[in-house]
Amino acid sequence: MGEHRVDLLIVGAGPTGLYGAYYAGFRGLSVALLDALPEVGGQIAALYPEKAIYDVAGFPAVRGQDLVDALRTQAEQADPVLLLGRSAVGVLEHDEGIDVTTDTGEVVHAKALLITAGIGNFTPRELPAGSEYAGRGLRYFVPRLDELAGLDVVVVGGGDSALDWALGLEPVARSVTLVHRRPQFRAHEHSVALLRASSVRVLTPYEVRKIGGEAAVEEVVVTTRAGEQVVLAAQAVVAALGFIADLGPIEGWGLALRHRHVLVDRTMRTNLSRVYAAGDVADYDGKVKLISIGFGEAALAVNHIAAAVHPGAALNPGHSSDQVA
């Protein structure tokens, strides 16, 4: 299918990978960006483009898709080779670098590899009751809130995603009901406080017992363990029960792993000399998973990669404001 030659291949085009691509260009490296999804942005673009993100430096709040768009514009300064809709399946290290093969038969020859694959491949946990309504009113994520405008929506779950979608749909849908099987939520306290102050109807501890409707969702039956039952009119059900993550072929590359995360040292290098990792996929003692930390890890990795692949290059690049435009 083709061959590509670059200084650095980045596997994973989410926020960390996009920032890593920009920073690679800043350090004078040629770069390719590979992702199994057809668009850049990772989980944010695929699952939460309308969600407000509050912990990115410089933004009191930023819509997920707006952040992705800005990161892509920034990354384009590096003129990266975009290899989207492809998965990395094989890795071969040799004296001159590393060769990565894709599921489409392409080969990327790189001097180093940076893995920024987030949680890897992710599939939603199914809603046991009513799974046959998937695509007929039952969905597992809401990439566009306006798709549910004017509908009665039931959101199922008690984590951050469930509360985010319930709160995001409140001004869009005709009505929103949040159903959770426990009295307590797993979401951030701030989100719980917003939920309590909203018009969202909260039913806890309830579970979805049945979804009804002929061609599509028309009602949802929820019950308590004691048998108390409530029948909800609904044209849409959003099941936010979490995701099952899988690193896929990466797990067979000989990398040191811990709980399906890639172990790295202080330079973000893995146990393979030309392979680095950053963002949620990377793990080390004291790791904290934040987008902002992923940005820093990507910059740290790229600086060490630049010094490794270009002997004589400085590890510390200085301030970007000192560079000639």
Q: Does the annotation list 122 as a binding residue?
A: yes
Q: Does the annotation list 88 as a binding residue?
A: yes
Q: Does the annotation list 112 as a binding residue?
A: no
d(CA 43, CA 17): 12
Q: Does the annotation list 146 as a binding residue?
A: no
d(CA 308, CA 306): 5
Query: Scanning the structure block, which residue is given the tokens 């061959």?
Result: 3
Cβ-count burial of 9 within 10 angstroms (0-12 exposed, 13-18 middle, 19+ buried)?
buried
Q: Does the annotation list 164 as a binding residue?
A: no
Q: Extract the tokens encoding 277.
A: 């990792």
d(CA 40, CA 35): 7
d(CA 46, CA 35): 12
Q: Does the annotation list 30 as a binding residue?
A: no
d(CA 243, CA 3): 34
d(CA 89, CA 102): 5
Q: Does the annotation list 235 as a binding residue?
A: no
The number of C-alpha atoms within 13 Å of 153 and in the hemisphere containing its C-beta is 31
d(CA 65, CA 50): 7
Q: Does the annotation list 54 as a binding residue?
A: no
Known binding positions for FAD: 16, 35, 43, 48, 88, 122, 280, 321
Known binding positions: 16, 35, 43, 48, 88, 122, 280, 321
